[in-house]
Amino acid sequence: MQLNDTQAKILQFVANTELRSSEQMLSLLLAEGIRFYFCDYESPSACSATSGFDADELVRKLQADAMRCVQG
């Protein structure tokens, strides 16, 4: 994923504010974005049943990736 200069600056600012690495912050933001976009507008059953898309599984994977970034 390639961020433009403005996106990178904002990501770094938010990461610094949260005392996280930029990689961990990006993973967390993506996880929350997926949950918001796919599951807050549709019921969870419709979310996974119609598209075969499991937002919870993707969120778990992104959070695990964020934890790997923290642990080194």
Q: Which residues contact 72 (CB under 8 A, 6 or more apart)?
A: none
Report the SS3 class of residue 1. Answer: coil
Terminal CA-CA length for the chain: 20
Domain around 59 = 5-71
- Structural domain count, the chain: 1
- Residue 26 · residue 41 · CB < 8 Å: no
**pLDDT one-digit tens code per residue, 32-50:** 887 777 765 555 555 555 5
Assigned token pair, 18: 């949260």
Q: Give 69 or 52, the one with higher predicted confidence.
A: 69
Q: Identity (one letter) of the amino acid at 33? A: G
**pLDDT one-digit tens code per residue, 16-33:** 988 989 988 998 888 888
Task: Please give the biggest Cα pair distance in the chain.
Answer: 38
